[in-house]
């Protein structure tokens, strides 16, 4: 299943008792349509406030209960407008939304303006001071390749020895004019990401673009194991899981 959602009203994707999550709302709707319990596998867990355009899930359904087009229409009637089911397909039995994925692409939007835009609140990170696009581009290129992203990730508490080594395939920035300034979009593709990695990469790159740290500081952070840039995270509302490749 391919789906999109506006994440500002959800406490992330993963189910959590007592709070509204994308996974929890989606599972309940699926079980209503299918008439049996469902276990959802998701391509990439998104945090509270993070959006998705190309999220992918997989699940098992009993024979005869799954009718893709009818399910898509039924779910969209139940879940609109905050969740939209873009496509439903019957997959091969071996397909796994998470482990079959070979690439994930995220986009992050920044409103670089003296004046905030209420219509972009929750969908773009508002940065008031001028950002130098050439510097942002140069700084972000440092992350391409295979690196230890310990300084740009939150290590999972249940797996303290987990590796933070990730391979970033591409990065890039696009610029759009905005009535009050500029709208910048950062895109990054990798085989996988660790927790808060994209927000930390964007936050650190913006620090360079603002002249608050140097490109050499990012190079040093990629060589180290301490989270030296802790706290400099881009706003979750600016982040969207854009596409998952298989």
Coil, helix or strand at residue 206 = helix
Domain carrying residue 166:
103-245
**pLDDT surpassing 90 at residue 22:** yes
Same domain, 240 and 143: yes
In the DSSP assignment, the letter for residue 180 is T
Is 94 contained in some domain? no
Residue 214 covered by a domain? yes
Number of domains making up the chain: 2
Q: Where are the alpha helices (DSSP H) in 84-164?
A: 133-140
**Residues 29-39: tens digit of each pLDDT:** 999 999 999 99
Closest CA to 8 of 82, 85, 117: 82
Summary mean pLDDT of the chain: 93
Given a cut of 70, is residue 228 above it in pLDDT? no
Q: Which letter does DSSP use for residue 35 in this model?
A: S
Confidence of residue 226 (pLDDT cuts 50, 70, 90): low
- pLDDT reported for residue 107: 98
Q: Each residue of 160-217: pLDDT tens digit?
A: 778 899 999 999 999 999 999 999 999 999 999 999 999 999 999 999 999 888 888 8
124 with 204, same domain: the answer is yes
Residue of 47, 117, 130, 217 marked active site: 47
Q: Could you tell me if 117 and 228 lie in one domain?
A: yes
Q: 165-178 and 145-148 as β-strands: parallel, antiparallel, unpaired?
A: antiparallel
Instruction: Tell me, yes or no, whether 82 and 175 share the same domain.
Output: no
- Which of these three, 61, 87, 113, is where a domain ends? 87
* CA 205/CA 184 separation, integer angstroms: 13
Extended beta strands in the chain, E state: 2-5, 41-42, 51-58, 83-87, 103-113, 125-127, 145-148, 165-178, 181-190, 239-245
pLDDT at 227 exceeding the cut of 60: no
Residues 159 and 204 in one domain: yes
Summarised one tens digit per residue, pLDDT across range 72-124 is: 999 999 999 999 999 999 999 999 999 999 999 999 999 999 999 999 999 99
Model confidence at 23: pLDDT above 90: yes
- CATH number assigned to the domain comprising residue 37: 3.30.70.580
Residue 93 lies in a domain: no
Query: What pLDDT score was predicted for residue 159?
Result: 77
Domain termination site, one of 56, 87, 118: 87
96 lies in some domain:
no
Residue 6 and residue 124 in one domain: no
The closest of 242, 171, 180 to 204, measured between CA atoms, is 171
Partners of 49 in the beta sheet? none
How many other CB atoms are there within 10 angstroms of residue 148's CB atom? 16
Same domain for 125 and 168?
yes
Residue 158 catalytic? no
Do 128 and 217 lie in one domain? The reply is yes
pLDDT band at residue 221 under the 50/70/90 scheme: confident
């Amino acid at each position: 299943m391919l789906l999109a959602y506006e994440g500002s009203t959800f406490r992330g994707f993963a189910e959590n008792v007592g709070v509204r999550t994308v996974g929890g709302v989606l599972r309940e709707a699926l079980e209503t349509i299918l008439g049996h319990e469902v276990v959802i596998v998701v391509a990439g867990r998104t945090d509270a406030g993070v959006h998705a355009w190309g999220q992918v899930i997989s699940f098992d359904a009993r024979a005869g209960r799954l009718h893709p087009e009818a399910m898509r229409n039924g779910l969209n009637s139940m879940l609109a407008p905050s969740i939209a089911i873009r496509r439903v397909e019957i997959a091969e039995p071996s397909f796994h939304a998470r482990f079959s994925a070979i690439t994930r692409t995220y986009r992050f939007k920044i409103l670089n303006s003296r004046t905030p835009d209420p219509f972009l609140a929750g969908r773009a990170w508002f940065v008031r001071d001028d950002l130098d696009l050439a510097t942002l581009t140069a700084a972000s290129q440092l992350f391409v390749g295979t690196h230890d992203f310990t300084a740009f990730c939150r290590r999972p508490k249940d797996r303290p020895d987990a590796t933070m080594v990730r391979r970033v395939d591409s990065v890039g920035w696009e610029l759009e004019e905005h009535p009050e300034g500029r709208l910048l979009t950062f895109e990054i593709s990798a085989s996988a990401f660790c927790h808060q990695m994209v927000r930390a990469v964007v936050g650190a790159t913006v620090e360079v673009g603002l002249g608050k740290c140097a490109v050499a500081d990012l190079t040093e952070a990629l060589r180290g194991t301490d989270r030296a840039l802790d706290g400099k995270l881009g706003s979750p509302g600016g982040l969207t899981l854009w596409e998952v490749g298989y």
